[in-house]
Amino acid sequence: MDKMTLRGMQFFGYHGVVPEENRLGQRFGLELELHLDLHQAEKSDDLSQTVNYAEVYALVKAAVEGPPSKLIEAVAGRVASAVLDTYTIINEVTVRLTKPHPPFDIHFDGVTVELRRKRDADGRVVPV
């Protein structure tokens, strides 16, 4: 299976358990791996044979900058579902969502959750 990766995406959201996170918001980093067959796009040089990554970016932005969630796991799941529901050409997606500055007295580069989802034989989205 071929892979398309969107790296270094940055969004502003209001996600977190601490009330200040929901009020003040913060930046979130996101990386997205899309597993799909790119053979026809390669041969035809035709955008309709692949996914338009500008449209994928807009979809991800709407999911991350949308309604607040307590957990980044929920936000990552919303991203995975939105991508797979919108693009049937995509067989599997990996979402890596990073909260760079959790509001705790700890010093590190952030916390990242990684979710992998794919379509099963019946077309349902399931964890990998």
Domains of the chain: 2-127 (3.30.1130.10)
The neighbouring-strand residues paired with 4 are 34
Q: What is the pLDDT of residues 4-52, one digit of tens each?
A: 999 999 999 999 999 989 999 999 999 999 999 999 999 999 999 999 9
Considering the entire predicted model, what is its pTM?
Answer: 0.94
3-state secondary structure of 62: helix
Look at residue 108 and tell me whether its pLDDT is greater than 90. Answer: no
Residue 126 makes CB contacts below 8 A (sequence gap 6+) with 117, 118, 119, 120
Residue 33 CB partners (closer than 8 Å, separation 6+): 3, 4, 5, 93, 94
Higher-confidence residue of 104 and 47: namely: 47
Q: E strands of the chain, at which residues?
A: 2-13, 26-36, 90-99, 111-119, 125-127
Active site residue 3: no
Q: Which of 3, 43, 99, 118 is the catalytic position?
A: 99
Q: Which amino acid is at 105?
A: D
